[in-house]
Amino acid sequence: MTEDLDVTLFLDQRSAQAVVDEMQQAGFSLRVPDIDDFVAKTRVLPFVYEPTRMPVDLVVGGPGLEESVNTTSSPI
């Protein structure tokens, strides 16, 4: 068992920055200073939910396995 929550997210037409902005409005803080470089290398947007300090990693989904198991397309 890990001590964080991992969620796969499909950006579709949104930018990583738009997702960061939405998450910050919902009480999450980004855990890295440079999202573009970090996302390009890892395909992860690492956050922490401030009220509980729970780490949440948004894994940027892409073609292949993640896309084949995508059963919903609801926005954040």
> 20: which residues sit within 8 A by CB, 6+ positions away?
30, 35, 45
Tens digits of per-residue pLDDT, 12-65? 888 899 999 999 999 999 999 988 899 889 999 999 999 999 999 999 988 655
Q: DSSP label at 74?
A: -
Cα–Cα distance measured from residue 11 to residue 44, given in angstroms and rounded to the nearest whole number: 12
* Confidence category of residue 67, pLDDT binned at 50, 70, 90: low
More confidently predicted of 25 and 67? 25
Name the pTM for this structure: 0.77
Q: What is the pLDDT of residue 11?
A: 86
What gap in Å lies between CA 73 and CA 54, rounded to an integer?
A: 24
Which pLDDT value is given to residue 63? 66
Q: Which amino acid, 50?
A: E
Cβ–Cβ < 8 Å for 16, 34:
no
